Amino acid sequence: MYEVRNIAFSYSNRKVLRDVSFVVSPGEVVAIAGENGAGKTTLLRILATLEFPEAGTVVYDGQDAFEKPLRYRRQLGYLGETPALYEDMSVREYLEYRAELKGETPKRIRRRLEEASQMCQISGELKLHIRNLSLGMKKRVALADALLLRPRILLLDDFLAGLDCAMRETARAIIANVASFSSVIATGHEIADLAAVATRFLVLSGGTIAAELPAAGSDAQALAQRVEAALKGSRG
């Protein structure tokens, strides 16, 4: 069980998040929607332990993530807004380096790399130089990196942004696949695409969770409409 408890965060005098709490069950895909500046990225950065919250905490398997960050990070996959990769490397070199860095043994690196590249559909691009990849392909490489060690929690920040229709379709398929072994928390503005894979939507507004919309009992289109309505409502 993954639990976010009463998270609050401010930059100097500006409150970004206040009392954000939710729970994510194993295998769940939670999508977080919100306007620009609503605090989606900050929330994910806190969940990735890249920022310390002003108040509140994240509990995973009964352990405080900020008290035992290394243990928590071993279960974590994080993909930021823009994929920042080493452009002087090939895809294979990059993933091997990242697997080594994450502490994977040399014997298992190859198997992990094959799994992740198949899952993200980049098996044919392993020899390519990262500098020459498109944005979508780079995002898939970054996702493969996040999935290398089969994390129990996957944080995706605006993963679908900038992708064309076909690529978004692929990305949705990948997320659905990942959900078989991982809890996914994804943010973004592509409500329809997220609705297709999300089991629950959280609408973030004014630094708090304005609405929580479970997908159960409604199809993706209906869910997307409910989310759009919630967003409009929060704006009003």
Partner 1 sequence: MSRVLTICRRTAGLACSLYSTALAFGLFFAAGALSFAFSLEMAEGSQTPLAVAWTSAVAPVLPVLAALLAMDAWSEERRSGRIDALLTVAVRERVFTAGKFLGIYSLTMAATLGLLVSTLAMLYFFAPATLGNQHLVSFAPGLFALALQGALWCALSLAASAMCRHAAAAALASIALTVALPRGLWFALMEWAPQGRMAFGEMPLDAHAYDLASGVVSTSTVLSYVILACFALFCSSKATASLRLAGRGARALRASTALTIALAAALALSLLALVQRVSTTFELEFLVRGDNGFSARTRNILADSRGEISITAFLSRKDARFRPLVHFLRTLAGESEAVGGARLSVRYVDPRWDIGPAERLVRAGAREDSLIFERGRRRAILPLAGGFDERMCASALLRLATRAQRGVVYWTTGHGECQYTAYEPWGMSEIARNISHCGYRNMPVDFASASSIPDDCALVIIAGAKSDLSRAETARLDAYLRKGGRLLVLLAPAETAGLASMLSAWGIKTSNTPLAGARTLTGTDAIIGDFSEHPVAAPLEGSQIVLEKPLVLRPSAAADIAGADRVEYSELARAGEACVAAAAERGAGTGDDLALRPTRIIAVGDAAFVMNGQLKIRGNANRDFFLNAVAYLAGTDAITEAGTEAGRLVTGMDRAEKVRFVVASAIVLPGALFALLAAAAAAKRRRP
Stretch that binds partner 1, among 28-36, 97-105, 171-179, 217-225 (CB under 8 A): 97-105
Interface positions, 77-96, toward partner 1 (CB under 8 A): 78, 80, 82, 84-86, 88-90
What string marks each residue from 119 to 138 as x (binds partner 1 by CB under 8 A) or -?
---------xx-xx------
Q: Does 103 sit near partner 1 (CB under 8 A)?
A: yes
Report the residue from 49, 57, 170, 225 that binds partner 1 according to the rule CB under 8 A: 49
Q: Which is nearer to partner 1, 94 or 201 (CB)?
A: 94
Report the residue from 19, 25, 37, 101 that binds partner 1 according to the rule CB under 8 A: 101
Measured in whole angstroms, the distance separating CA 8 from the mean position of its chain's CA atoms is 20
> At closest approach, how far in Å is the CB of 5 from partner 1?
14
203 strand-pairing partners: 33, 211
Q: Does 142 sit near partner 1 (CB under 8 A)?
A: yes
Report the residue from 37, 67, 74, 114 that binds partner 1 according to the rule CB under 8 A: 74
**Helices 135-147 + 91-101 axis angle, to 10:** 30
Q: Does 2 sit near partner 1 (CB under 8 A)?
A: no
Rounded Cα distance between 146 and 209, Å, is: 26
Interface positions, 13-32, toward partner 1 (CB under 8 A): 13
Polymer length in residues for the chain: 236
Helices (H) and strands (E) counted in the chain, each on its own, are 8, 10
> At closest approach, how far in Å is the CB of 208 from partner 1?
17
Token pair 């509140």: residue: 56
Rounded Cα distance between 169 and 150, Å, is: 22
Contacts of 163 (CB under 8 A, 6+ apart): 135, 136, 139, 171
Q: Does 159 sit near partner 1 (CB under 8 A)?
A: no
For β-strands 76-79 and 63-64, DSSP reports them as unpaired
Q: Does 57 sit near partner 1 (CB under 8 A)?
A: no
Q: In what helix (H) or strand (E) does residue 151 lie, and over which residues does it extend?
A: none
Rounded Cα distance between 205 and 208, Å, is: 6
Q: Which is nearer to partner 1, 55 or 222 (CB)?
A: 55
Short-list 207, 193, 178, CA closest to 40: 207
Binding site for partner 1 (CB under 8 A): 8-13, 45, 48-55, 70-71, 73-74, 76, 78, 80, 82, 84-86, 88-90, 97-98, 100-103, 128-129, 131-132, 142, 145
